[in-house]
Amino acid sequence: MLPDVPSEPDRRISDAEGYEKLPGRLVRSEGERATGDESVDDAYDGLGDTHRLLVRVFGRDGIDGRGGTLEATVHFGHRYDNAFWDGERMVFGDGDGEIFSGFTQSLSVIGHELAHGVVEQTARLRYQDQSGALNEHVADVIGALVEQYSLGQDADAATWLIGSGVFTEHIEGRALRSMLEPGTAYDDDLLGRDPQPAHLSDFVVTEADHGGVHLNSGIPNRAFALAAIEVGGFVWEHVGRVWYDTLTGGSLDPDSGFTAFRAATLAAASARFGPESREARAIESGWAAVGVETERRAG
Torsion angles phi and psi, residue 52, rounded to 5: -60, -45
CA-to-CA distance for 263 and 151, rounded, in angstroms?
A: 31
CA angle, 63 as apex, 255 and 71 as ends, to 5°?
120
CA-to-CA distance for 59 and 130, rounded, in angstroms?
A: 28
Mention every residue, 6+ apart, whose C-beta is less than 8 A from residue 22: 14, 16, 73, 76, 86, 89, 91
CA-to-CA distance for 267 and 265, rounded, in angstroms?
A: 5
Q: Which amino acid is at 203?
A: F
CA-to-CA distance for 60 and 187, rounded, in angstroms?
A: 38
Which of these is catalytic: 214, 238, 279, 284? 214
CB 89 within 8 A of CB 143: no
Catalytic residue status for 214: yes
CA-to-CA distance for 16 and 263, rounded, in angstroms?
A: 43
Catalytic residue status for 210: no
Which among 265, 289, 259 is positioned nearest to 277, based on CA atoms? 265
Which of these is catalytic: 51, 71, 113, 137? 113
- What is the residue-wise DSSP string for 150-177? HHT--TTT---EESTT-B-TTS-BS-SE
Helices within 183-277 (DSSP H only): 209-216, 218-231, 239-248, 258-273
CB 226 within 8 A of CB 289: yes
Tell me the catalytic residues. Answer: 113, 214
